[in-house]
């Protein structure tokens, strides 16, 4: 975000405003920081009374961070009396009780009075004291009002620029109506009740399918509470469309290697072991696998399948080579196949039974007879070091 909010293409606000007077500031950095605070909130007239490090000051320019025009226009004075000589209303800022019979006001009250007087054409000044000791009694005596802030009494001293920024902020807020520079954009109008009702109907229908509303006697209360959650949000039309998409995605299952899976990795492996021991899921009298079996396996990958598939997708040596998961070829279902390469990757499960090994050998023979190249990868090796397995496969397949 260049400039952290500063936009040099926009107009610099220059309207009648109070004068900021810094009395014997000790550090050039503090003068620069104060000038920056002034620029933030539309104050442009700076007067310096005997700056301790001399003037001009390069450190002040660095700290001003672009508020150079305020430093360039700063006026030097030998005394506070001279600095405020043309002003009709003066406020002195201090954190200490100077025990003077003079009105004490907060920064916001001071800003309200300054706005009225500046609008009436008066010249108003705000005096800020030295970093270490602030303003002295005789300097406070020159002011019409004392400005102080509600601060921690055990640590009441503010940095010079901090004091300037608080008073400047209150001034600018009142002088310009307190309007914020931007607001949340309305990218979509509020959702009408008809759209909300349609969303609730879909949501409740899907929740009913998973038996969310239990026990039955609490169904009405649960439904009302659920609707009130979304009503309190005051959603937009786009919000409701997004929520529809979320519900549909959850209902239809995840896309990718585990789309719609309901089994964990261990259960998925047991499913594969069972199928291997019973002829790959074939039914007497049918040449191919049971309908939907490949989809069931695809939706419920083992941990080794998931890791190997992710590696195949992300490895540029294999990506785009047409590999698919759990695809039927004749009466068999292959773990990974690339039809363009005529290549099969057979994932060997751990602790394979004799019957499962015999079934896998039959599948390999069947595929080899039809011109497929079959590569084996052991599941435990994939889980231990998938990168090493990928290197071995690359040497065979490439």
Query: Residues 218-262: pLDDT tens digits?
Result: 889 999 999 999 889 889 999 999 998 888 877 776 544 444 455
Tokens representing 328 are 């039927």
Mean pLDDT estimate for the chain: 85
Q: Say if residue 290's pLDDT is above 80.
A: no
pLDDT over threshold 60, residue 5: no
Beta-sheet pairing, 104-105 with 145-147: parallel
Q: Is the previous residue joined to 215 through a cis bond, with omega within 30 degrees of 0?
A: yes
pLDDT of residue 215: 81
Q: Does the domain at residues 12-175 carry the CATH identifier 3.40.1280.10? A: yes
Burial of 380 (0-12, 13-18, 19+ CB in 10 A): exposed
Higher pLDDT, 295 or 309: 309
Nearest alpha-carbon partner for 72 in 86, 85, 61 = 61
- Bridge-partner residues for 47, per DSSP? 21, 75
Shortest CA distance to 205 belongs to which of 170, 250, 174? 250
Question: CA–CA separation, 253 vs 249, rounded Å?
Answer: 6
Determine the pLDDT at residue 373: 92
pTM, two decimals, is: 0.56
Cα separation, 292 vs 219, whole angstroms:
35
295 versus 117: the higher-pLDDT residue is: 117
| Distance (Å, whole) CA 191 – CA 239 | 8
Q: What is the reported pLDDT for 278?
A: 54
**Hey, where are the domains in the chain?**
12-175, 193-252, 265-397
> 265-397: which CATH number, 3.40.50.150, 3.40.960.10, 3.40.50.1820, 3.50.50.60?
3.40.960.10
Cα-to-chain-centroid distance, residue 205? 33
Q: Which residue, among 104, 79, 34, has the nearest Cα to 113 in the 3D structure?
A: 104
User: Which region among 28-32, 125-129, 345-349 has the lowest average model confidence (pLDDT)?
Assistant: 345-349
Helix (H) or strand (E) holding 6: none
pLDDT at 279: 54
Quickly state the pLDDT bin for 7 (edges 50, 70, 90). Answer: low
The SS3 call for residue 270 is helix
pLDDT in tens, 343-354: 999 999 888 888
pLDDT number for residue 141: 95
Structure confidence at residue 398 (pLDDT): 66
Look at strands 343-348 and 332-338 and give their pairing.
antiparallel
* Phi, psi angle pair for 329, to nearest 5°: -130, 110
Whether the pLDDT of residue 356 is over 50: the answer is: yes
Q: State the pLDDT confidence band at 177, using cuts at 50, 70 and 90.
A: confident
The per-residue pLDDT for 277 is 57
């Amino acid at each position: 975000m260049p400039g952290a909010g500063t936009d040099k293409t926009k107009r610099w606000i220059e309207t009648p405003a109070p004068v900021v007077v810094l009395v014997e500031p000790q550090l050039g950095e503090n003068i620069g920081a104060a000038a920056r605070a002034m620029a933030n909130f539309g104050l442009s007239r700076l007067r310096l009374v005997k700056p301790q490090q001399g003037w001009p000051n390069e450190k002040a320019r660095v700290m001003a961070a672009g508020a150079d025009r305020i430093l360039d226009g700063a006026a030097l004075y030998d005394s506070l009396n001279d600095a405020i000589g043309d002003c009709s209303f003066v406020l002195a800022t201090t954190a200490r009780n100077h025990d003077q019979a003079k009105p004490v006001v907060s920064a916001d009250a001071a800003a309200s009075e300054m706005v009225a007087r500046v609008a009436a054409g008066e010249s108003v000044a705000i005096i800020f004291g030295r970093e270490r000791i602030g303003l002295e009694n005789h300097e406070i005596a020159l002011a019409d009002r004392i400005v102080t802030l509600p601060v921690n009494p055990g640590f009441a001293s503010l940095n010079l620029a901090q004091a300037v920024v608080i008073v400047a902020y209150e001034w600018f807020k009142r002088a310009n109506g307190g309007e914020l520079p931007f607001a949340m954009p309305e990218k979509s109008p509020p959702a009408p009740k008809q759209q909300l009702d349609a969303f609730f109907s879909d949501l409740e229908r899907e929740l009913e399918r998973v038996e969310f509303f239990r026990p039955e006697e609490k169904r009405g209360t649960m439904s009302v509470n659920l609707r009130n959650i979304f009503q309190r949000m005051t959603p937009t039309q786009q919000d409701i469309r997004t929520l529809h998409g979320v519900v549909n995605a959850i209902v239809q299952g995840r896309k990718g290697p585990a789309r719609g899976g309901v089994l964990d990795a261990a259960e998925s492996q047991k499913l594969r072991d069972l199928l291997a021991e019973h002829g790959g899921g074939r039914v007497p009298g049918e040449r191919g696998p049971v309908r939907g079996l490949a989809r069931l396996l695809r939706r419920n990958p083992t941990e080794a399948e998931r890791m190997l598939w992710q590696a195949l997708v992300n490895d540029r040596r294999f990506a785009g080579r047409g590999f698919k998961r759990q695809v039927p070829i004749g009466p068999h279902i292959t773990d990974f196949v690339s039809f363009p390469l005529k290549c099969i990757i057979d994932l060997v499960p751990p602790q394979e039974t004799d019957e499962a090994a015999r079934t896998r050998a039959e599948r390999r023979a069947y595929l080899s007879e039809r011109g497929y190249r079959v590569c084996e990868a052991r599941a435990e090796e994939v889980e231990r070091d998938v990168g090493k397995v990928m290197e071995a496969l690359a040497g065979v397949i490439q």
